[in-house]
Amino acid sequence: MSTPRPVLVVDFGAQYAQLIARRVREARVYSEIVPHSMPVADMLAKNPAAIILSGGPASVYAPDAPQVDADMFQSGVPVFGICYGFQAMAQALGGTVARTGNREYGGTPLHARPEAGVLLRDLPDDLPVWMSHGDCVTEAPTGFTVTAESAGAPVAAFEDLVGRRAGVQFHPEVGHTAHGQEMLTRFLYDIAGIEPTWTPENIIDEQVARIREQVGDKEVICALSGGVDSAVAAALVHKAIGDQLTCVFVDHGLLRAGEAEQVEKDYVAATGIKLKVVDARERFLGALAGVTDPEQKRKIIGREFIRVFEAAAREVAAHGDVEFLVQGTLYPDVVESGGGTGTANIKSHHNVGGLPEDLKFALVEPLRTLFKDEVRALGLQLGLPEAMVWRHPFPGPGLAIRIIGAVDEERLAVLRKADLIARQELSAAGLDRGVWQFPVVLLADVRSVGVQGDGRTYGHPVVLRPVSSEDAMTADWSRLPYDVIARISTRITNEVAEVNRVVLDVTSKPPGTIEWE
């Protein structure tokens, strides 16, 4: 099976470019992000099913503002303009864009005209939408029907059904726009005529064929961390080539309660993967003894992992010709590193802080076209344990950077107990999938006064840090119900003898970070 024709999202510097690409995929249509600097000929060489022009911070009047090459509209490819992309599209096709002085930012009422067209058909005449503009289109290009207006935009949406082109001044991709996903889907299905074939089943079939073609009969190795990305990548490769794949799980002793067992037992039972487990707990704890600086912790853990993984890789290679390394690279990694052009580098491994560049393996990256939600869908389709598929993102150095102070077995045990209680109560309340991440931090070098029983205590405080986010670039603290927080606090102070105080971190990112170290 070949990769479906992509919908290209042309990025004009929009904060929402990745979100547009995700929304297209939520409509079961494959999408790719390309920079506005890419020549139109190169875009068309990708044989796109449609092109979406994103928003952006520039004014179309600025001398260095990115423009849309008119050749794009001579190609017959359906085009959809959003915000800046809408204005650049209108200007390129002979419409008029003006500075009216009527800025609109944030929630804005949109009024559909009687000629509501395809995008707004059968929707309410007045809709709340998300605007962000200072300029506006005052006259649509020839052949376009104006379908909506707002107080600050006399042309807030237009369509040319013969040319299969449409545009909107607002952002249909954000949740603040009512029926926004429906509008985007209508462009894809009804105007561009695209079939919704981007499904987990089709993705698996496509990647299995690609992996078999790339690997042939060679041996492959994968570093499993317990996280969803490496787990799904390995399961996909295993489905393609079976026992040609050997996974290596380095147990550094810094995982949360039950996670090592989840990899060693549940994951193997679900997939039948050949797994080599390296028990390196004593080695890591010995190297971390007395270390309190978080950056030094990270470097030590990265260094020790590299040494352990290299030794394990040599042992695996002794039994066959290992030429390939599986990496759980996701599409946001590709986009943020420049779109994946040029020679691929081994990305910083999310469990360790970096694999050495002199590991002479070719990369197998079966998830590099996928977003996190698509990876989870694949994991479920491949039969992986739900607890692993829905595991919250977890820092590479593990619990070592959630202990403020030196790391030892006793402090790890205390933090594991407190962390497990927090996760149990979050799950019991049905809130674990609504929270992006829930670090529990042990202030090991701090003692607080408490009263337990009839005596005073000097125990450790722990910090609860539940956060909500879509991509971890920004985050806000999760407003968990007070009764859930209270249960977590009560259980921790009752069941973890070394802890006598529980506090809640209510800092957003920025200015804070998700992790404390």
CB count in 10 Å sphere of residue 141 = 21
Q: Which residues contact 462 (CB under 8 A, 6 or more apart)?
A: 415, 418, 440, 441, 442, 443, 492, 496, 499, 501, 502, 503
**Is 188 exposed, middle or buried (CB count within 10 Å of its CB: 0-12, 13-18, 19+)?**
buried
Using DSSP, state whether 109 is helix, strand or coil: strand
Q: Which residue has the tokens 């020839």?
A: 142
CB count in 10 Å sphere of residue 145 = 15
Catalytic residues: 83, 171, 173
CB 24 within 8 A of CB 9: yes
Q: Which residues contact 24 (CB under 8 A, 6 or more apart)?
A: 7, 9, 30, 31, 52, 184, 188
| Token pair recorded at residue 211 | 């992996």
CA 240, distance to chain mean position in Å, is: 25
What phi and psi, each to the nearest 5 degrees, are found at residue 127? -130, 140
Cα(299)–Cα(290) distance, integer angstroms = 14
Cα(330)–Cα(365) distance, integer angstroms = 8
CB 342 within 8 A of CB 239: no
How many Cα atoms occupy the beta-carbon half-sphere of 423 within 13 Å?
Answer: 19
- Residue among 501, 285, 497 at smallest CA distance from 406: 285
Cα(3)–Cα(157) distance, integer angstroms = 32
Q: Which residues contact 53 (CB under 8 A, 6 or more apart)?
A: 10, 12, 68, 79, 80, 81, 82, 84, 85, 86, 88, 89, 167
Cα(483)–Cα(488) distance, integer angstroms = 9
